[in-house]
Amino acid sequence: MKFGWNLGNTLDAQCIDNLDYEKDQTASETCWGNPKTTEDMFKVLMDNQFNVFRIPTTWSGHFGEAPDYKINEKWLKRVHEVVDYAYKNGAFVILNIHHETWNHAFSETLETAKEILEKIWTQIAEEFKDYDEHLIFEGLNEPRKNDTPVEWNGGDQEGWDAVNAMNAVFLKTIRSSGGNNLKRHLMIPPYAAACNENAFKNYIFPEDDDKVIASVHAYQPYNFALNNGEGAVDKFDAKGKNELDWNLGIMKKRFVDQGIPMILGEYGAMNRDNDEERAKWAEYYMEKVTAMGVPQVWWDNGIFEGEGERFGIFDRSNLKIVYPGIVAALQKGRGLEVNVVHAAEAKPKPETTEATTEVTTEATESTETTVPINPSTGIRDISSKELIKEMKFGWNLGNTLDAQCIDNLDYEKDQTASETCWGNPKTTEDMFKVLMDNQFNVFRIPTTWSGHFGEAPDYKINEKWLKRVHEVVDYAYKNGAFVILNIHHETWNHAFSETLETAKEILEKIWTQIAEEFKDYDEHLIFEGLNEPRKNDTPVEWNGGDQEGWDAVNAMNAVFLKTIRSSGGNNSKRHLMIPPYAAACNENAFKNYIFPEDDDKVIASVHAYQPYNFALNNGEGAVDKFDAKGKNELDWNLGIMKKRFVDQGIPMILGEYGAMNRDNDEERAKWAEYYMEKVTAMGVPQVWWDNGIFEGEGERFGIFDRSNLKIVYPGIVAALQKGRGLEVNVVHAAEAKPKPEPTEVTTEATTEATESTETTVPINPSTGIRDISSKELIKEMKFGWNLGNTLDAQCIDNLDYEKDQTASETCWGNPKTTEDMFKVLMDNQFNVFRIPTTWSGHFGEAPDYKINEKWLKRVHEVVDYAYKNGAFVILNIHHETWNHAFSETLETAKEILEKIWTQIAEEFKDYDEHLIFEGLNEPRKNDTPVEWNGGDQEGWDAVNAMNAVFLKTIRSSGGNNSKRHLMIPPYAAACNENAFKNYIFPEDDDKVIASVHAYQPYNFALNNGEGAVDKFDAKGKNELDWNLGIMKKRFVDQGIPMILGEYGAMNRDNDEERAKWAEYYMEKVTAMGVPQVWWDNGIFEGEGERFGIFDRSNLKIVYPGIVAALQKGRGLEVNVVHAAETKPKEEKPKECWSKKYGYECCSSENTRVVVTDETGKWGVENGQWCGVLDYTEACWSLPFGYKCCTHCKVLTKDENGKWGEEKGEWCGIIEEKC
């Protein structure tokens, strides 16, 4: 497929109310103003390289009653004719069910819908049963819960279930009909065919049918492409690109990266007399989906004039392309030759038609922008989404009304003294005026109420305190600013179940009084129920929480909402802010956050000091540069906020953010502009945390000198203005930073999230192992190398293990390992070595499974080669057959695992943190459909269970193993979302590391079959970035240390491309703080997986350009030593001895001896005798039509030899190698 066009508003037109369908069944085709369809329409479009045509068709009014629902013959004949116009010219045609009322996604109408659906599609299928693959059936158009709040917002359980059920009926109906329908390609949509994460997550796609396509509609970015009301824009700008990219990203993640074929059945950009912008958008969009391998079909409704949705690009009456620039952009974006023919000279003037006004699009919002004013109260009845559009940017009055000095102030004597007890001056109205002069128009007033209210049951707020709070609120409110008033540094509202009931009681009483005090204030006063509610002083305080914490926060939020909504005055329409757990920008906190669906005046409150090491961290790891790594971290955090809130239509305010002063004003200004630009594009206001601190070693977030009413850092304020898209104009700027007077109580002020600045790592003198976390340990790693196809080689079938336990080390063709190998690699800055080790064949029978002493001794020697030279060593269990992830073998696997690891742990118990144990390699359900596709419940459970046994075994063994760093993989060690989601990682052990393998992008790095590529292009970068993104999301951003235990790019004689890829990949993982370990299997020649980069026999770096790229990407000095002059080559052939007998010698791969006589050994090649040269590596299977294997895994034996399998083909096992 190239690209496509919808015959919109034609066969899908629905005019039952004003047409006599009995009189003329086909009249509806033109009832929405388009002309009757002709074959020439499709021919003109095909001349312009369109080759996919979607025929939206409404069947209602054209079929009879139950139980047969028989389609009218004339209508079916007309649909058939239109299909043929395109089909018979060689195009792809998509025929569907479109504007129906009977297939809405409600449970109460579902059975009837399924019944009609089955009957209609049975008849359509019969009509077209002999058509080939160019005719595609699309079961439903945009099935949804019409006229409900979730119609266009991703649906709910009822809607998802209904859509999935109807899709299933459609698939079953077509597959059970006759003719070609068994192999017919079928399209099924998620809920509403919407590009929406909830719709995608709850969409069931069949795994057992390779002729099904996901159907998605994406008019993106919404305000540019589809919105016909408030917020619509006519420019395709950076904000629009970001929105479009995000939508493409979730489609890629859900479909493309899961191997699910997808068609964008509808897309387009409404005409706003902005042809150049639409052309720019069209090329960008088409280029992106082309890279994803997705066809897209333009929605053309034939409308060119008026105020409505003008999606027409082709004048059907005059057979002209109305917007040739857009069609040219589509051609260019698709990578086709640009050649637009049949172009119109001017836009068409459509004939007047009475029925044209009937046309509507469901998702369009009203263009009405007037906001109703409630005359009785003076508060505007607008949604929070509308309200936050009026906000510019904000400032926190930090460490002031929220200061808490109960232990060293007499609150009874002076209730308002706490305002200045953390060192800030008393608040004045002029402070807000100066800030408003600098375009701040949102002010958050953090307020601590503890110490200012009485005892149960009334918890009455002190009048003087409430009066002072009121005064401060008024300083900003009466000057026209937005004010956010909250509950801040409290101790009674921590998120514990045991204190929850008391917290809810106090919360309700306090907010009842605040609500009464300000009940007549309009929408400029916002209440924020809680500040950062969390499980204080627990391991999950800042790490996203747990079930107890989530439940407590949601419960307190609910009490707050109910309290305000049930109070008097304007509070029924008051805009309210509620936080997730800890107000944290954290996926777990977001996932477990309950946001009300039935109240459009609620705002999510999130705090994000990002990137952490630049913005907030005051300890080890802190940085003063806002670099690429920082940008990536910030972008990721913004991405999860966008995904959870913005894209779900949930209004959000960044109630706290900022970057601590490290005497790095320029970097902070650069960061501030970037951050502000990004959140502005998201439509999110942000409020700077200003604690009034400018000096000292603590958290210096001050930007405004309150005593002197001066902007201390005008460059930062200018950056905020610029990033917000405002005129840059900073007034009241200070000449120099203020020097605050010393105060005894200033040191009381703290910020909860700050880590200790202590960097010394304690050494355990009795054992010599450092007691550090895995997160700290991996910071010391540069990059690594796998000793592949060596100790992991497995040749049980053709080696006598009893005779020589260590012979397997070289049975896959690599030389015996030496210490010098590691030294050469360490000279090239590798400092991590993974020793893949297969133990099968080297241990005895149950119940002891005792490891052979000679094998264990050899493994020990190899470990020592690297360990004793100061490198990190990862020792594992590799190519085993007993630890596959099946429930039926699980108990035995656990038993063997425990016994083997007990012995290994004992052997190395005194080794320090440089020796890491990896419990399993790639545990999976071997030889099943889910082997490499992320697994299933059985597989996930088995892997998690084996990981648990491994952890328990090591932790309960002696010596240093209680502090040993351990690696555990998800299912198959796969970089796969399902594997990640179902992976259990221990929360109570800080010396565990996630082990992941990622040969990405697959077609460049690993694929040795169809689809393989030798260029690392934009498509490859996108795929690699996506995989890195899900790793970052699952591990790095959750604070879980991770090592890429295997990665690499197979040699395709593309050294420069591999070097480019290596640098890019290394740069990205370095920014994530992840070490990676190259898979080197020692293979340089042949057709197989050539991952070798180091010639172990000659101790030479074979590909110095790749190693240099790794060094550079890691940020190290580039210095490659011990480089080979050329790649290792096979020995030169000996003289062909058989020529003197009139025969050529056999090729170098072929030494299969067919017969031996007094002259020598003879083989057969191309039907002729050939002389066998004994220098070559024997590939005896070539005469039988099969190449030799690059491995030694025997599947079967016959009279010819031993056979294995590669890429779905038999291959001969080379005895000499194995």
Answer yes or no: are the C-beta atoms of 419 and 464 closer than 8 Å: no
The Cα–Cα gap between 737 and 697 comes to 16
Beta-sheet strands, E only, within 1114-1208:
1155-1157, 1160-1165, 1168-1171, 1196-1197, 1202-1206
Q: What is the pLDDT of residues 241-296, one digit of tens each?
A: 988 998 999 999 999 999 999 999 999 999 999 999 999 999 999 999 999 999 99
Query: Is residue 707 exposed (0-12), middle (13-18) or buried (19+ Cβ within 10 Å)?
Result: middle
CB under 8 Å to 455, separation ≥6 — which residues?
none
Contact call for residues 526 and 388 (beta carbons, < 8 A): no
Q: Position of tokens 């009189």?
A: 23
For residue 995, the surrounding DSSP H or E stretch is strand 992-997
Say what the pTM is: 0.40
Per residue in 631-687, pLDDT tens? 989 998 999 999 999 999 999 999 999 999 999 999 999 999 999 999 999 999 999
C-alpha–C-alpha distance, residues 856 and 270, integer Å: 71
Determine the Cα–Cα distance for residues 456 and 509; give it in Å rounded to an integer: 9
* Of residues 547, 553, 612, 608, the one with CA closest to residue 578: 553
- The torsion region of residue 341 among left (phi > 0), alpha (psi -120 to 50) and beta comes to beta
Q: Hey, what are 622's tokens? A: 């802190």
Q: Of 175, 172, 173, which Cα lies nearest the Cα of 184? A: 175
1209: annotated active-site residue? no
Torsion of CA 357, 363, 369, 374, to 10 degrees: 110
139 and 187 in contact (C-beta within 8 Å)? yes
Q: Are 535 and 549 in contact (CB under 8 A)?
A: yes
Tell me the CA distances in angstroms from 1086 to 617, 1008, 1050, 1083, one per residue in order: 51, 12, 12, 8
Give Cα separations from 968 to 432, 477, 916, 951 (angstroms): 54, 55, 11, 8
Closest CA to 1193 of 817, 997, 926, 1006: 926
Could you give the CA distance from residue 67 to residue 117 in angstroms, rounded to a whole number? 12
Q: Which residues pair with 1171 in a beta bridge?
A: 1145, 1162
The stretches of 692-791 forming alpha helices (DSSP H) are 714-723, 774-777
- Rounded to the nearest 10 degrees, what angle do helices 628-644 and 665-682 cross at? 30
Residues 6+ away with beta carbon under 8 Å from 336: 2, 49
Look at residues 461, 49, 113, 480 and name the one whose alpha carbon lies nearest to residue 295.
Answer: 49
> Could you tell me which residues come within 8 angstroms of residue 427 by beta carbon, excluding any fewer than 6 positions away?
397, 400, 401, 419, 472, 475, 706
Look up residue 886 and give its amino acid: F
pLDDT at 508: 96
Q: Which residues pair with 995 in a beta bridge?
A: 1043
Q: Residue 897 phi/psi, 5° resolution?
A: -55, -45
Angle between helices 429-437 and 463-477 (to 10 degrees): 20
Q: What number of other Cβ atoms are within 10 A of residue 957's Cβ? A: 19
- Which uninterrupted H or E stretch holds 872? strand 872-876
Give alpha helix (H) positions in 651-727: 665-682, 714-723
According to DSSP, residue 581 is labeled: G
Distance CA 48, CA 324 (A): 10
**So what's the pLDDT on residue 750?**
32
3 state SS for 642-658: HHHCHHHCCCEEEEEEC
How far, in Å, CA of 570 to CA of 593, rounded? Answer: 27
Kindly report the CA angle at 431 between 429 and 434, in degrees rounded to 5? Answer: 110
* Contact (Cβ atoms closer than 8 angstroms) between residue 489 and residue 402: yes
What pLDDT sits at residue 1206? Answer: 67
Out of 656, 922, 1023, 1206, pick the active-site residue: 922
- How far apart, in Å, are the Cα atoms of 13 and each of 31, 56, 70, 302? 7, 9, 20, 12
Catalytic-labelled residue, pool 283, 913, 1046, 1165: 1046
Largest CA distance in the chain: 118
Residues comprising the chain, all counted: 1218
Q: What is the pLDDT of residue 428?
A: 95
* Identity of residue 579: P
Asked if 1000 contacts 1027 with a C-beta cutoff of 8 angstroms, the reply is yes
Q: Give me the residues paired with residue 216 across strands.
A: 264
Structure tokens at 735: 């000449």
Which parts of 1044-1093 fold into alpha helices (H)? 1055-1072
Nearest to 549 by CA among 562, 568, 530: 530
The pLDDT value given to residue 1216: 59
The whole-angstrom separation of Cα 268 and Cα 245 is 15
The pLDDT of residue 585 is 94
Residue numbers in the chain where pLDDT is lower than 70? 345-378, 735-768, 1125-1134, 1148-1155, 1167, 1174-1180, 1182-1186, 1190-1199, 1206-1209, 1215-1218
User: Is 827 in a helix, a strand, or coil?
Assistant: helix
Nearest to 324 by CA among 292, 363, 264, 276: 276
Q: What token pair was written down for 574?
A: 């008051």
Active-site annotation holds for 918:
no
